[in-house]
Structure 1
Amino acid sequence: MARNFILSILFHAIVVAVAYFGLPSFRDSVILEPLPLSVELVTVADVTNLPTKPKEPEPTP
């Protein structure tokens, strides 16, 4: 029973050490900052109001 207790303590110590120090592969050494994005603000009416297409008459049979 003492062997299992020692193994449990050792395993928990390893888990705590990994959680505290972290794994090197989980770290991202390069911090990427978001690039600025330029946008143009326009009135919706200028973009969405298209001229209406004249209706074509239906062909007579």
Structure 2
Amino acid sequence: MLDALVWLVFIALFVGAALLVKVAAVLLVVLVVLALLLGFVLRALRKRRRAPRRPR
């Protein structure tokens, strides 16, 4: 009985660690994509600001 309990705890910890690693990887990818998008947006805004504005 104790042996099975130890195995269940081990499996639960292993699955939890795998899920944590997957979540961390997804968060890292999302952060990298957001950083790239922010860089592109800032570059586009800088280019647009440099161009002469049309009077409204």
Fold shared per TM-score above 0.5: no
TM-score, normalization by structure 1 = 0.40
TM-score, scaled to structure 2: 0.43
Which is greater in Rg? 1
